[in-house]
Each structure stands twice: as structure tokens, then as C-alpha cells.
């Protein structure tokens, strides 16, 4: 019997990026992402505006992804979409579109957890053909989550540690807002930090139990520090931007690795991956390589286009669910707080 090609359309709309991608037998044919500039002036994502922008973007983005993949709609094996977690108004747009599209084409529908998508992005076909071996630990760091996940199989994942308040990405974005740096602040802090001294200013590392994190105190600490310094020098932020960014970034990354190293040792795991928007951070990437050598880890760092939100990660997760024949009913609804473990 000739095996049929598995061609999955992935749709992602959980936050402020509308994305569609086509994956054929695990390899990318297209991955289109439309960012939403409307949020910049507000210093964060405005849910109502995000959902409206998704409404505008979803059809052109899907059309573009299918065209760029050079396939016909009828070639698709299934439609995979992000069911959650995320902003409900944003998720509704992608979910409704995916349901209608699957119904109209009479193709199976596949629901994907956004956080599992970030992790499974490591299985998108690449030239080296090297992928993480189970079990591995993935440190998933995004604007909404900071988790240490023990990945035992494609869909058997256990959260062994997580933030008890702000996510790492939020710690970057909120600090940027305090410093008058536009949203999303993470990439800009990363950029300014390149010219700064990471040891110039000292910020505290929260001591939290087990493999958990806390980042909200760090941001408050930065705020009080800047308020104090600006009493003497109104231009303190401008004059020290690179050093502040480098010191603050260094503290976040140090905090992240402290728990990751402990979790890897305690679980006797030496395959380590990172995922999510903050995994685009240059210090996080270089530290994973440096610490990975010391700890004798095999490390997996996603390419930049698969760090921040994208539909290729949803499509690859869909590929594995398709092989497992795990399909969703047409009356499925999004879940803003969808969990990766029951």
C-alpha cells in the first residue's frame, strides 16, 4: 500500500500574532505570521484590539500560507488549530475559522495546546535530522508562561516547575514599560543589553520552593531602584540604559538556569530544550550552550522563526495527533486556560 502524504494546515491565534502554516510529512512548506502593530502604543496587548485584528488577518494569512505551500485546499489531510491557553477573544477567531474550514472541506479537525506546540516545534523537520529524545526537559519561556516541562512523549508532558506570578517574558516586557521602551520589550532589552555590563547593577533572585519561579518582585525592585536613582539624575535611564538592561536580563537568565540545572540533575535527564518567545533571547541561548557543556547536556535551541508564536509549531503538533488519529469534534470551543496535563 502506498502511504499517503500527511499535509497539515496549522492555525495560531492565541495572542497577538495571526499565523497559518502548512507542513507536509513533518517538513515545512509555508509559515506566515502577521504581527499586530496596534498594541505598541499601549505597552501591552489589548485583548479587544487583538481579536479584531485576528478577524482582519485570518483569511489573508491562511490564503497566503496555502499559496506559498503550493498546494490545493483539497490536498490537506487535516486542520490543526490552537485551542488554548491564550486570550479568549483571540482564540475564538482561530477556532471558529478552523471549524468552518474543516467543515467546508470535510477534513478532520485537530485541537492543539499552544504550550505543547511551542515544545513540539523541536520536531519540525530540519536538515540535520536530529531531534530531542524522550524523556527531555523543555524550559518553556514566553509572554504568558514560564514552565519546566518533563516531556515523556509527544503528548505526555508533565509540568515540574512554573512561575507563581509573572512569566519571564512579562518580566522583560514590564521592565521595558517602566523604562519607556516600546512593547514587546524583550527583544529591545536583549538588543540594548549587548552593549552593557551585566554586573553593573545587582538585582535579587527570588528564592522559591522546588522548581518554581517568581518574577514579580524583580520588576518591582527595578521600579524602586530607578525611582531612587532618578531623584539624583533625571536622565539616569537614558545614561545607563545598556547597563540596566544587561544587569536585569542577566538576573532573569540566571534565575531560569538555577532551577533548570536542579531539575535536570534530580530527574537524571540530559536532553534539554528551550521554547517560547523568550528562547529568542541571545543570553539565554548562549548560556544554554555554555552551561550545557558543563552539565554534559545535549541541547536543543529552536531557530528564531519558531521561538515566538507561529503556526508551524501548531501544524507539527497536528501532524503527530493526525498519526495518532486524535481528532476534535466540530462543536469544540476554545479554552483560555487549557492545561497540558489532565
Residues forming the site for ligand KG4 (CB under 6 A): 15, 142-144, 169, 172-173, 184-187, 190, 276-278, 280-281, 308-309
**CA 277 to CA 121: how far, in whole Å?**
12
Check residue 173 for interaction with Zn ion (CB under 5 A): no
Query: Which of the choices ligand KG4, Zn ion, none does residue 288 contact, using the CB cut-off of 5 to 8 A by kind?
Result: none
**CA 309 to CA 305: how far, in whole Å?**
8
Query: Which of the choices Zn ion, ligand KG4, none does residue 280 contact, using the CB cut-off of 5 to 8 A by kind?
Result: ligand KG4
DSSP helix/strand/coil, 297: coil
- Residue 125 CB, shortest distance to Zn ion, in Å, is 21
- Residue 33 CB, shortest distance to Zn ion, in Å, is 12
Closest C-alpha among 257, 238, 243 to residue 198? 243
Nearer to ligand KG4, 108 or 318 (CB): 318
- Residue 325 CB, shortest distance to ligand KG4, in Å, is 28
Check residue 142 for interaction with Zn ion (CB under 5 A): yes
Residue nearest to ligand KG4 (CB): 277
- Residue 313 CB, shortest distance to ligand KG4, in Å, is 9
Site for Zn ion in 268-327 (CB under 5 A): 309
**CA 315 to CA 265: how far, in whole Å?**
32
Query: Which of the choices ligand KG4, Zn ion, none does residue 334 contact, using the CB cut-off of 5 to 8 A by kind?
Result: none
DSSP letters, 165-208, are SS-HHHHHHHHHHHTTPPSSHHHHHHHHHTTS-TTSS--PPP--
Nearer to ligand KG4, 78 or 256 (CB): 256
**Which class for 94: exposed (0-12), middle (13-18), buried (19 or more C-beta within 10 A)?**
buried
Query: Which of the choices Zn ion, ligand KG4, none does residue 278 contact, using the CB cut-off of 5 to 8 A by kind?
Result: ligand KG4
- Residue 114 CB, shortest distance to Zn ion, in Å, is 6
Q: Are the beta carbons of 116 and 311 closer than 8 angstroms?
A: no
Query: Which of the choices ligand KG4, Zn ion, none does residue 169 contact, using the CB cut-off of 5 to 8 A by kind?
Result: ligand KG4
How many CB atoms within 10 Å of residue 199? 10
Check residue 16 for interaction with Zn ion (CB under 5 A): no
**CA 320 to CA 317: how far, in whole Å?**
5
- Residue 58 CB, shortest distance to ligand KG4, in Å, is 18
Nearer to ligand KG4, 15 or 29 (CB): 15
Name the one residue in this structure whose C-alpha cell is 552539565.
295
**CA 83 to CA 301: how far, in whole Å?**
25
Footprint of Zn ion on this chain (CB under 5 A)? Answer: 142, 309
Amino acid at each position: 500500500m502506498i502511504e499517503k502524504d500527511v499535509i497539515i494546515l496549522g492555525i495560531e491565534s492565541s495572542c497577538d500574532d495571526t499565523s497559518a502554516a502548512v507542513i507536509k510529512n513533518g517538513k515545512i512548506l509555508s509559515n506566515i505570521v502577521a504581527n499586530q502593530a496596534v498594541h505598541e502604543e499601549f505597552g501591552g496587548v489589548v485583548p479587544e484590539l487583538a481579536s479584531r485584528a485576528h478577524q482582519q488577518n485570518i483569511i489573508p494569512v491562511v490564503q497566503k500560507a496555502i499559496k506559498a505551500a503550493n498546494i490545493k485546499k483539497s490536498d490537506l489531510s487535516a486542520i490543526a488549530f490552537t485551542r488554548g491557553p491564550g486570550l479568549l477573544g483571540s482564540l475564538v477567531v482561530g477556532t471558529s475559522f478552523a471549524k468552518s474550514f474543516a467543515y467546508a472541506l470535510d477534513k478532520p479537525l485537530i485541537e492543539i495546546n499552544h504550550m505543547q506546540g511551542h515544545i513540539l516545534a523541536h520536531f519540525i523537520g530540519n536538515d540535520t535530522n536530529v531531534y530531542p529524545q524522550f524523556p527531555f526537559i523543555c524550559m518553556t519561556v514566553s509572554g504568558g508562561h514560564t514552565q519546566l516541562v518533563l516531556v515523556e512523549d509527544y503528548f505526555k508532558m508533565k509540568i515540574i516547575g512554573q512561575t507563581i506570578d509573572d512569566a519571564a517574558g512579562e518580566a522583560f516586557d514590564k521592565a521595558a514599560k517602566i523604562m519607556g521602551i516600546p512593547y514587546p520589550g524583550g527583544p529591545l532589552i536583549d538588543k540594548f543589553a549587548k552593549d552593557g555590563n551585566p554586573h553593573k547593577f545587582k538585582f535579587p533572585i527570588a528564592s522559591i520552593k522546588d522548581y518554581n519561579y517568581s518574577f514579580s518582585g524583580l520588576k518591582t525592585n527595578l521600579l524602586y531602584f530607578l525611582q531612587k536613582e532618578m531623584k539624583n539624575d533625571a536622565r539616569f535611564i537614558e545614561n545607563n540604559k545598556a547597563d540596566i538592561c544587561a544587569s536585569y536580563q542577566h538576573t532573569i537568565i540566571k534565575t531560569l538556569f538555577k532551577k533548570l540545572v536542579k531539575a535536570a540533575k534530580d530527574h537524571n535527564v540530559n536532553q534539554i530544550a528551550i521554547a517560547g518567545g523568550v528562547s529568542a533571547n541571545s543570553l539565554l541561548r548562549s548560556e544554554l550552550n555554555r552551561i550545557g557543556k558543563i552539565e554534559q547536556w545535549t541541547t536543543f535551541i529552536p531557530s528564531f522563526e519558531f521561538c515566538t508564536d507561529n503556526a508551524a509549531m501548531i501544524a507539527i503538533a497536528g501532524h503527530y495527533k493526525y498519526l495518532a488519529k486524535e481528532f476534535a469534534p466540530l462543536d469544540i470551543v476554545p479554552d483560555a486556560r487549557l492545561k497540558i496535563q489532565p
